[in-house]
Amino acid sequence: MPAGLAGHAGLRADGVRMLATLRGLDDCGADPRGGVTRLGFTPEEDAARDYLRRVAAECGLTSEIDQAGNLVIRRAHVSDRPALVMGSHLDTVPRGGTLDGTYGVIAALEVLRVLTEHQVPLAYEPVVVAFANEEGAHVPVPFWGSLAVAGRLPDPTGVVDRNGVPLSEALARAGGSIDAVDRAAWAPGSVAAYLEIHIEQGPVLEAAGVPIGVVDAIVGRTIVEFEVTGRQMHAGTTPMNQRWDALVVAARLVLAIEAVAKDDKLCAAGTVGILDALPGQTNVIPGLVRMSAEIRDGDMDRLRKAEAAILAEAQRLAGVHGVGIESRVTMRSEAVSTAEPLREAIRRAAGHLGLAYLPMYSGAGHDAQIVAAVAPIAVIFVPSVGGVSHAPEEYTAPEDLVTGANVLLHTALRV
């Protein structure tokens, strides 16, 4: 720890306060079927931002929404030093958990409160950010908010949500502006480092009985959307050998995408999460299928080869079965490494607190990997019970959440 901060070695997060703030968000998108449905750029995500703005005001912090809809919380009297940004996202997948992303924002806010209350003289100005629409569940631009601060958002003007409604409306409701999202980009040199704490979402830490993961690299991801076009015909009168059934071909493509990852091992993971057959009637041969492929790997060369293999197989299936298959790559996120000096700060923080830690790989995506284009990044993990996430059962023991916040705090002191 820098000598000037030695008097702060005993600082701790207020765990009771942090957990209460976290629970305050449970109402924003609580799903009657269980879990949380707080999709990006919906009123539920707006409510979460509003709630945190009230909390920030109550503790004397200032907050604003940038032009991309990101919530930014600062001390009332900011210095002109470069920022140490800490945060994550508030949006969820449909029926997700209460912690994915949200925990990272709430832990960062707790750290900012402690640093402010104790007037800790940091080298950098601590700032909390809640990035908008990380999941991309409703507005299919995952990492929207972090792409905006990194100045990497593709042209946003034509973006529509899954119901075809232009994003401009929801963005304006959130406090941003589609015509000014480029103003959300962080000025070069204005951010010294970005720290994100997150639940692991996998089984490693729990199995090892270790409370802290120090992420060394984050997975890369490619998303492809397919349209399979066959012929819509009568399900009873059309002979089985005279059909162009889009769903039957799509089913073969689903299995091919699994095989590329599972059997051919061209990439670490391959998933089809969207499969819509139209017109969706028991007595009509599906004429159109819309489906997604999502592939991940830590090596971008491998990921590109896996993508090429899937696209080639789609074309082969189209030829063999006489249907049309159109594909569109809608997202490519780069695999990244975290910054070693920040990893060292996390390890020292954990050591200072008497905690064991493990180097970890992240198979989940995080806003940090987008921010990595403009600032050094680090990611801290806490254990996920059963390794479950993107599901209502997602859970981390409260004491582990508080422990993680203390590691974030003591990492911030060492940056």
Query: Residue 135 Cβ, how far from ligand HGY at the closest point, in Å?
Result: 5
Partner that binds at residue 365, options ligand HGY, Mn ion, none, CB closer than 5 to 8 Å by kind:
ligand HGY
Half-sphere exposure of 77 (CA within 13 A, CB side): 4
Judged by CB, which is closer to Mn ion: 100, or 206? Answer: 100
Whether residue 400 contacts residue 408, with contact meaning beta carbons closer than 8 Å, is answered with no
Q: Measured from the CB atom, is 13 or 149 closer to ligand HGY? A: 149
Least distance from C-beta 297 to ligand HGY, angstroms?
Answer: 13
Q: Does 45 bind ligand HGY (CB under 6 A)?
A: no
What one-character-per-residue DSSP string does 15-69 give? HHHHHHHHHTTTTTTB-TTSSB---TTSHHHHHHHHHHHHHHHHTT-EEEE-TTS
Instruction: Using the minimum distance from each CB to Mn ion, give the nearer residue, 100 or 307.
Output: 100
Q: Which residue, 44 or 100, has its beta carbon nearer to Mn ion? A: 100
Give the residue, chosen from 140, 365, 376, 404, that forms a contact with ligand HGY under the rule CB under 6 A: 365
d(CA 102, CA 47): 13
Which residues are registered as beta bridge partners of 71?
Answer: 65, 130
Q: Under 8 Å CB-to-CB from 354, ≥6 apart: which residues?
A: none
Radius of gyration of the chain (CA): 23
List Cβ neighbours of 130 (8 Å cut-off, separation of 6 or more).
48, 49, 52, 70, 71, 87, 88, 89, 90, 105, 145
- Pick one of ligand HGY, Mn ion, none as the site partner of residue 110 (Cβ within 5 to 8 A by kind): none
User: Which C-beta is closer to ligand HGY: that of 135 or that of 196?
Assistant: 135
Contact with ligand HGY (CB under 6 A) among 66, 135, 200, 313: 135
- The interface partner of residue 415, options being Mn ion, ligand HGY, none and the CB cut-off 5 to 8 Å by kind, is none
Closer CB to ligand HGY, 61 or 90, in the complex: 90
Please report how close the Cβ of residue 365 comes to ligand HGY at its closest, in angstroms: 4
Measure Cα distances from 258 to 185, 211, 309, 358 in Å.
Answer: 37, 33, 12, 30
3-class DSSP assignment, residue 224:
strand
Near ligand HGY by CB under 6 A: residue from 134, 206, 297, 307:
134
Confirm or reject binding of residue 101 to Mn ion (CB under 5 A). Answer: yes
Q: Is 367 in the site for Mn ion (CB under 5 A)?
A: no
- Provide the token pair at 6: 């030695």
- Residues in contact with ligand HGY by CB under 6 A are 134-135, 364-365
